Amino acid sequence: MGIAGQVRPIVAAVVVLAAAVTAARAEEANDYPTSARAEYVYGCMKANGETRQAIEQCSCSIDVVASIVPYERYVTAETALSMAQVRGNLGTQFRTSEQANAAVNDLRRAQAEAEVRCF
C-alpha cells in the first residue's frame, strides 16, 4: 500500500470529523424555535418599518442574537423585560434581580452587535 492508500483513510476521517463539528455548530446556532425567531422578526419589523429591507435586516438581527446568546438566556432576558413592566412588588423583583439584569444586559449587547452587522 502506497502513501496515497495510507492518507485516504486519514483524509476521510478528517472530513467526517469536520462535517460533524459543522453540523453541531449549526444545531447550536439554530437552537431558537421558529416561533421565537418569528416573534423577534415581527417585533423588529414593527419598530423598523414593514418593508422588504426590514425583513432582511430583522432576520439578520435574530441570527446574530442567536449566535451570541443561548436560547435559555434569551428566554430569561425576555421574561425579565416583560415582568419588569408589571407594577408592584413582583415587577420590582424582576427590575432589581441581578440575574435578570445580567441576562437583559447580555441580550442588549447582542442586539447592539446585530445593529452594527445588520442595519
Residue 25 clears pLDDT 50, i.e. is over it:
no
Q: What pTM was estimated for this model as a whole?
A: 0.73
Residue 4 clears pLDDT 60, i.e. is over it:
no
Tens digits of per-residue pLDDT, 71-92?
Answer: 999 999 999 999 999 999 988 8
For residue 14, give every residue at least 6 positions away whose Cβ sits within 8 Å of its Cβ, in sequence order, or none. Answer: none
User: Residue ranges of the domains in the chain?
Assistant: 32-118
